């Protein structure tokens, strides 16, 4: 369930016409170190913001400008 939720939120509020994400849950010997409040959602959102930061640097524009250009507009919302 956590992986599903993270993948559901990985696009954040941006338009990604050619974006595919896949997740692979891994077994560990460590107990969870979180309270599970976001249940995977925040981790997915962080992925999108990390990608946007890299794209802004590569395009030599500010991250805020790129977010404004790439954000979902109400008439284009896919939800």
Per-residue pLDDT of 17-28, as tens digits, reads 888 889 888 888
Per-residue pLDDT of 45-77, as tens digits, reads 888 889 889 999 999 999 888 888 888 665 555
Q: What is the pLDDT of residue 35?
A: 62
Q: Please check the confidence at residue 78 and state whether its pLDDT lies above 60.
A: no
What span, in angstroms and rounded, lies between the C-alpha atoms of 35 and 26?
19
**pLDDT tier at 30, thresholds 50, 70, 90:** confident
Report whether 77 contacts 39 (CB < 8 A).
Answer: no
What span, in angstroms and rounded, lies between the C-alpha atoms of 60 and 22?
28
Report whether 5 contacts 40 (CB < 8 A).
Answer: yes
Report whether 9 contacts 40 (CB < 8 A).
Answer: yes
């Amino acid at each position: 369930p956590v992986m599903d939720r993270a993948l559901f939120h990985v696009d954040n509020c941006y338009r990604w016409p050619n974006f595919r994400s896949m997740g692979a849950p891994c077994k560990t010997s460590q107990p969870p170190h979180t309270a599970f409040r976001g249940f995977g959602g925040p981790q997915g959102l962080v992925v999108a913001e990390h990608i946007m930061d890299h794209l802004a640097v590569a395009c030599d524009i500010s991250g805020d400008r790129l977010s404004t250009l790439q954000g979902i507009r109400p008439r284009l919302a896919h939800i």
